[in-house]
Structure 1
Amino acid sequence: MLRHLTSAARGHTGGGDRGPSALRRLALTAMAVTTAAAATLVPAVPANAAAFKVLVFSKTAGFRHDSIAVGTQAIRDIGAANDFTVDSTEDSSAFNTSNLSQYKAVIFLSTTGDVLNDTQQSAFQSYVDGGGGYVGVHAAADTEYNWSYYGQLVGAWFNSHPAIQQATVRNENRAHPATAHLGTTWARTDEWYSYRSNPRQNVRVLQNLDESTYSGGGMGDHPITWCHPQSNGRSFYTGLGHTQESYSDSNFRTLLLGGIKYAAKAANADCRPENGYTALYNGSTTGWQQIGPGSFSNSQSTLTSSGGMGMLWYSTKQFGSYSLKLDWKLTGDSNSGVVVGFPTPGSAQGALDTGHEVQIDATDSADKTTGAIYGFKSADLAARDAALNPPGSWNTYELLVEGERLQVFLNGAKINDFTNTDPNRSLTSGYIGIQNHGSPDVVQYRNIRIKELTTVTPSPSPSPSPSPSPSASPGTTSALRGVASNRCLDISGASQANGAIVQIWDCNGQANQRWTSTAANELRIYGGKCLDVSGNSTANGAAVSIWDCNGQNNQKWRFNSDGSITAIGANKCLDIVGSGTANGSRLQIYTCHGGNNQKWTRV
């Protein structure tokens, strides 16, 4: 398939001497390339069979929206046009393990009130945590207020709304398949929900409301559409969709399609929470300079390459340890790359010779294709292929640079981990740039942003992750030291009993401070005990102890790029009670807030 051909016989070399490939001149349209590559993103199916099935659930125990019927039909129409089958029900008994197993996603279409009993809730939680998808539309946020897991899944509960009116939606993420078709803003009429809490810390916000354009907001920062991973599954929610007219709006129908495909794992996106980034490019090219032939045009907050081989580089500042994120899209079998760690360039080729290029190319040899550190290290091709959207679709890179280590994440999944050993190059300080490779090659970029890191932190290990982070990779054993306290995660009295207290204590290298990461996202100690959220609780303040490892979600943990560690089952952070720094301060889980009492380093 075009996305991962590895034949070196193409004569497609790197840096400044990469010439047009003979294969690139084959009579393939961009549409054909896209279609062929897209087929690898969904399970193989028999000819003429639908690629997957989804279930629309629209039971109401409170207010009932008159748009439910037209919404259900619209989703059926969307499915028929996009090769997936749609079933619908208002019967809660459909929420059992056997029945749910046939669906890639379940869509809560303006449900209200308590619609599932305890047994049905348990079946649905197991379905999502086991890899199923959830899509919530509008009043899905007005549902199951007494079920804490559902609160995590939907992201935020409904609080209030003003009268139906026009407002401006700001599309802050235009790489997700639900929003990539939209401009930077979108004026539309709907019923605009406010929520009981702001979900931003725990989700990737795709759209927010400009409260100055309508009356009755009150949230300030006002997310309205978002997504996030939920254990091994995926969640997508939009507050849009109150009115019947919404479901005949082509833009809204495309938004629904993208959300469904994301949740069903038929398309990929980086939906990890994202906070603390500074825009380097989001419509303005201030601070950027072109070097070498060719150029990038700038329109609709999108950079589009032409000609080359040249490079657009951010000349304002050199960066050391950082997380760099950017959205990119290829047209067909094109070629580009992100260049990092180079000194002031005399030429585009000079930047390639003194820095490292993270390659973007639909086809090439293993060390010169998408995700590779060009000429140095191939990506994990299986992980790359699982995470990659095909040419014609948007993708998101995160380049995590810590000292001489460069990790590459594609749509939230780690695909490469490289450490520079070349004495003529260094990642510890340098500029960043994006390449315009040549006339046959067209690449687009959006939303280039950076977060500088003050400390070297554990690397992210998204859930699900096809390739665990080496800093949290299976078999890695180390102490975990609190950034605020400078003390280590410790078992009180070196106890090995179930329920033994987890605290912080002066780092001493003893066995009761040595934690081993596993492929199951556990943090093990003493071989068979796991870091455990007591009682499977998801509440703020729930105690953390050790317990016999059992594979449950209250024993699964995710390392984040900001140094925090998330309890996957609760979607809350490992936290020192009261921001304590003294020996004996205890551990709990608490809503992630970015404080140093929730940040850890491996030692």
Structure 2
Amino acid sequence: MKTTFTFLLSAIAFVLICATTLSKKSFESKELSLLALAKIDTPDQDRFVKVDLVHGEFTEPTELTVLPNFDILVAQRRGEVMIYKNQTKKVTEAGKLDVYFKTNTPDVNAEEGLLGMAADPKFAVNHYVYLFYSPFDKSVNRLSRFKLVNDKIVKESEKIILEFYSQREICCHTGGSIAFGPDNLLYVSTGDNSTPFDVPKQQFVNKGYAPLDNRQGLQQYDARRSAGNTNDLRGKILRIKLNDDGTYSIPEGNLFPKDMPKTRPEIFVMGNRNPYRISVDQKTGYLYWGEVGPDASNDDALRGPRGYDEVNQAKKAGNFGWPYFIGNNYPYKAYDYTDGKNGAPFEPSGAINNSPNNTGLDKVPAAQPAFIWYPYGESAEFPQVGSGGRTAMAGPVYYTKLNASPYPAYYNGKLIIYEWVRGWVKAVTMNAQGDYVSMEPFISNISLAAPIDMEQGPDGKLYILEYGKGWFSKNPDAGIVRIDYLKGNRPPAVKSLDITKTSGLLPYKMTAKVYAKDPDGDALTYVWNLGKGVVKTTTTPTLQYTFTKAGEYPISVTVMDKNKASAKSLIVPVFAGNEHPNVSIALAGNKSFYFPNKPVDYKVLVSDKGAKVNNANIYISNTYTEGTDLAGAQLGHQQAAQTVIGKTLMLKSDCSTCHKESEVSIGPAFDKIAVKYKNDSKAVDYLASKVINGSHGVWGEVPMPAHTAMKEADVKKITDWIMTLGNKETIAASLPTTGKIIPPPAVDKKKSVLTLKASYTDAGSAILKPLTTTNLINLQSNEIEASEIKDFKGFEKKDIYGGDKLMLTEQSAWIALKNIDLTGISNFNFSFANLETGADGEIEIRMDGEDGIIIGKSTFRNGTPINLISDGKMHSLYFIFKVKAGTDKSRVIIKSIIVDSK
């Protein structure tokens, strides 16, 4: 106890020192907090579990509200109000509004429709539901009150509360979220109703910066007419007091007084681009919202800052900057779209709105900086948010509502924020004044499919609406989930189900093993589902079973603890009555490297137990791909093809949010991309650059965000997979089963791995589909770049002379190459970037460890011949560097290792 108390005092003292010596920004960027310094443990994230209430029933859900009886209303953008019944677990339609949700303009998507919904705080008494929507027959966005009777929205009960003009057929930014504050004031968010895209056929265009084009006839490209206009309700968050008769009054404390000319008194917050999800702290009354920001990937001297998404906090009424500022009050510059000349940056103390489209004040209120802000790339200030696409959302400030809190008190008073594209959820800690202190992962072990709304229910638990991964469509993963916290016993966690051999001739003996762990250390029981009604129970994680009838059997296992809490594995299909063919690739020479102009002798052997091999079904290919795998050839086991790896990487990224393999979404279908670039030999590299750097205007107006944090090698595997979708009918002829591949004399450094792949598909049977086995080997170029070397000590990897090099930092150091075949290797040479006179030393090559036997020795300036004949096994090689006395270590900079063959 004393030690802990002393530590806490030290932590508090450290915080106070930081607070008096660091600026606010540097303090925030380090995300220092008392909780973090005191090392107070956060609750185990694996105690949070996702309870699926319903999936596959929704088409473009936008907002949800949990009723007092735990029924849940869901608004759908196309006009439907759906109701999930807690007792029956079924979804039915409660009503449908005739909304404008689709444009008549080619290549332009509408975002309007039924946008927001909230139940009255006194719903149990009055049954009022508030809907914010775009009526089909009038170019406005409208807030109305309806009555829900017998699970039906009574259309005749509609009371129009408020509406305002909204320009249509343009795309984008609607806002549309509704939230009640603790004082029963109603908040409504509205988007800037402006086009973020470029005016067609113009020399000077927006390019993803603030839309400030005030030329005649181009009003939709000018956000100063809406978000930057004090006399317009677009690009705002409104705050009104509802009256019993469906009218409203203006509460005290809004941004502008009731009778102030050229202003609207409903405005609580102005300067918004697309405040898509809002929430109100039910104790403090502070307003929070996620602001979806502009698309520019880089700062520009003429225009201003790159795009940022924001999570904002308004303790009182204010202007939050758009379109004059973004992020931490980073200013845009006035820009003349007729000649491309810029003006001065806007002034945070009060930007001037001199747009001819402005109907409000000439000078707007002072701009407030964002609470949290982050770009497409990694954020220096808030590194936990990651990188990639951006759609910031604000959830509730969590408070315990019951004596028996459903979640740990640790989260009491924390703001929950989340990301629609990136999929994460974070808990934000604030001090007593509501200022930002830190953020941390929340429900981090739970995967969400594009969370679009989040609400704390009457039971104190979080209810989350998943839009699903796909735009403007009915997504099978759209649904409602509840987040439970398991205070006591937890279910087991299933890591994987492994089956030693997934096929075999009859009788087929299967050996299966499940890897599972109980977080509470309980003994486990395993219930095996072997398909066709066969169930076996064991107390060990391994099962052996013999199949005597031919067929495909779906194998899974349910792992159960002593309290009957359980978890189920994925399904693994096995095939009884047919066995996967065996495909092996034999190399005559070195199995780690290939050498320019030196033939790689290979032989592919195929056997199919119980059947004759059909040589027409053998397919062999070789490609040169990017990679840094120095593990040598991977022989003797089945591997996924490179294209399958690419698809797996795609599914793990945010690509699937905007693109489908062959279906329409907000981005083009992958197979359409493949067809478009089918005959382009540089398509893989070109598409990869588009993914990393972002793209705009190729397939329409919607830009693709930059993914600067993704590894280029991974992105190229994804684009390589994409291109296979357009080449299904143009597969190159197979190589012969025995042959030679002659590597070119010069190797593209970005395609340094020679991959030899062989596959065979058998004939199957009347009741079993054909089975395919694919095997491959990878051979690394004989020139190993310093950037590819992963294992070293006493060196520092630095970007020197245009690329990563290894700079010596210690008197004695080593570099290791793992899993190396020594067959046919005569020499290792080091290429140095800056080896000056006097910088010298000795290099030893040791086998299988720093202290292994020496198989070669030389100085820095000479090659290093080896004096050991290969034993046919793979070895780890350690290159030990011993620096000569007086040598400036920083002059020893390694560019590459070159392997010579005999």
Task: Output the TM-score relative to the length of structure 2.
Answer: 0.20
Higher strand share: 2
Higher helix share: 1
Q: Which has the higher contact order (CA 8 A, sep 6+)?
A: 1
